[in-house]
A and B are shown apart, each in its own frame.
Chain A
């Protein structure tokens, strides 16, 4: 997957979690939690969805890597390079 595809994947998963999520003003480098109405349960949903869709196992210690859109892409890029 390219960086843009990974970004779209994350946004698509977030849209499933919260259909009212507004991405228009979303800044990629800032924490998602501060900009969208996301809590720790929502991040767990993202982890579960990535496992379901792409068989990715993200250890709990790595959850903080999903904080912002940019950090998500940085973390997932090597894991999804062959997909």
Chain B
């Protein structure tokens, strides 16, 4: 069990601020390397956006949805066997929009067949497209956009663009105008073997990770909000938290990169050149969600695990972000999600802009939130008629909700755009001992991206601490 702050010592090798999947993984790797690690989380629960909450017997998963098969290898190497063994495939991914309706296992084999037979794309084009995206690296040229990539291979085919782009927009908040590599890398990860989830839910995963950290000797404190990262003479000295000073030669912030620079370390700690790069970072969009719990006795037909739905005539990145978007994903959690916990929950997710919600008056905010729930129910009724009679819990979250729980700048649920990656990776060259881990650059986001980035940063930290 995590402690309160008074149990923490005065001095550590490394302090990790924030317990998102990136922060948790960095803490795990550094303790494995033999460092004395303190993990501080402002919330009472660990996990960051990999979170859940309980209402009326339901457990709602906020960001479980689905991740690529790469999680198996990653969890096997950096976490535990028990975590790895709980990863299971989601076989039924559904698309339903005015251009097409189909069900797929969302892997290369099935997508190749769909593109060839349903969308009539020549086999050679499909093969060339897959080879192109599979060959993409994060350090490649970024001048080509995803829109240009699609136009090159599937000119004028807005239906194909939608099939390829819509799920990735929900997975990492990227748009047609972002660098093609941010699309290609994430899409290829999914196409490897399909979409996977964590059986037992987010609470089980975070519980297992917490146990593993404790076994490795990491001190974990919750309800511990760091006020400031102390920087002296260009180097990190520790943190101020709950009226205490705790020292360490290295501090890893799993707070947002913008929060880390502006709020935690403070602008004074950085050079003008570095601040210019930091100020140019665009945070990604936020999300809206509607959480729907079904009565204990209610059963619904299996209509698929992830439903990418839209009534908009064509795919348009800005339509997906609109306050009144007609596009949303339904993550359907059948009882199989949590064996033994015999309930159905449905989470509707939409991408959303913070400013659209933060500028509303309190009355208008409540009205819009209610309208969001109503629209979601209308859409859900198309797949599950009479669903309203089966519901016993309804609740919505907006970008303001995401901001409140994660403290992320403008409630971003997908970190930053591409330029955030270079700033995040180089921050320790600017302030000795200061590191950042978290969703940056679109690629290092999602559950798999966050965990892998945690490993990459742990390597930087270990190298730094051992060189002192």
Q: Does the CB pair A52–B74 fall under 8 Å?
A: no
Does B370 sit at the interface, judged by CB under 8 A?
A: no
Say whether, besides A17-B77, A45-B77, A48-B33, A57 and B455 are in contact (CB < 8 Å).
Answer: no
Q: Which of B110-118, B323-331, B386-394, B458-466 lies at the interface?
A: B458-466
Does B456 sit at the interface, judged by CB under 8 A?
A: yes
Name which of B33, B452, B463 has the most chain A CB atoms within 10 A of its CB. Answer: B463
Q: How far is the CA of A52 from the CA of B77 in the complex (A)?
A: 16
Q: How far is the CA of A55 from the CA of B33 in the complex (A)?
A: 11
Q: Does the CB pair A41–B74 fall under 8 Å?
A: yes
Residues of B within 8 A of A47 (CB): 459
- Could you say which of B33, B34, B456, B467 contacts A44, with CB atoms under 8 Å apart? B456
Q: Which residues of B, 57-111, contact A by the 8 Å Cβ criterion?
A: 74, 77
Q: Does the CB pair A51–B74 fall under 8 Å?
A: no
Q: Which residues of A, 32-83, contact B by the 8 Å Cβ criterion?
A: 41, 44-45, 47-48, 51-52, 55, 57
Q: How far is the CA of A44 from the CA of B456 in the complex (A)?
A: 7
Q: How far is the CA of A51 from the CA of B32 in the complex (A)?
A: 12
SS of B interface (majority): helix
Say whether, besides A48-B33, A52-B34, A57 and B456 are in contact (CB < 8 Å).
Answer: no
- Could you say which of B74, B77, B466 contacts A55, with CB atoms under 8 Å apart? B466
Residues of A within 8 A of B467 (CB): 57
Q: Does the CB pair A48–B77 fall under 8 Å?
A: no
Q: Does the CB pair B452–A41 fall under 8 Å?
A: yes
Q: Does the CB pair A51–B77 fall under 8 Å?
A: no
Residues of A within 8 A of B456 (CB): 41, 44
A41 nearest CB neighbor, chain B only: B452
- Could you say which of A44, A51, A52 contacts B455, with CB atoms under 8 Å apart? A44
Q: How far is the CA of A1 from the CA of B452 in the complex (A)?
A: 32
Say whether, besides A17-B77, A41-B74, A45-B77, A51 and B452 are in contact (CB < 8 Å).
Answer: no
Q: How far is the CA of A47 from the CA of B33 in the complex (A)?
A: 12
Q: How far is the CA of A41 from the CA of B456 in the complex (A)?
A: 8
B138 nearest CB neighbor, chain A only: A40
Q: How far is the CA of A57 from the CA of B463 in the complex (A)?
A: 7
Say whether, besides A17-B77, A41-B452, A48 and B459 are in contact (CB < 8 Å).
Answer: yes
Residues of A within 8 A of B29 (CB): 48
Contact with A along B439-468 (1 / 0, CB 8 A): 000000000000010011011001100110
B-contacting residues of A (Cβ < 8 Å)? 17, 41, 44-45, 47-48, 51-52, 55, 57
Give 10 A-B contacts (CB < 8 Å), ordered by A residue.
A17-B77, A41-B77, A41-B455, A44-B459, A45-B455, A47-B459, A48-B29, A48-B458, A51-B463, A57-B463
Other 15 A-B pairs with CB < 8 A, given A41-B74, A41-B452, A55-B466 = A41-B77, A44-B456, A44-B459, A45-B455, A47-B459, A48-B33, A48-B458, A48-B459, A51-B33, A51-B462, A51-B466, A52-B33, A52-B34, A57-B463, A57-B466
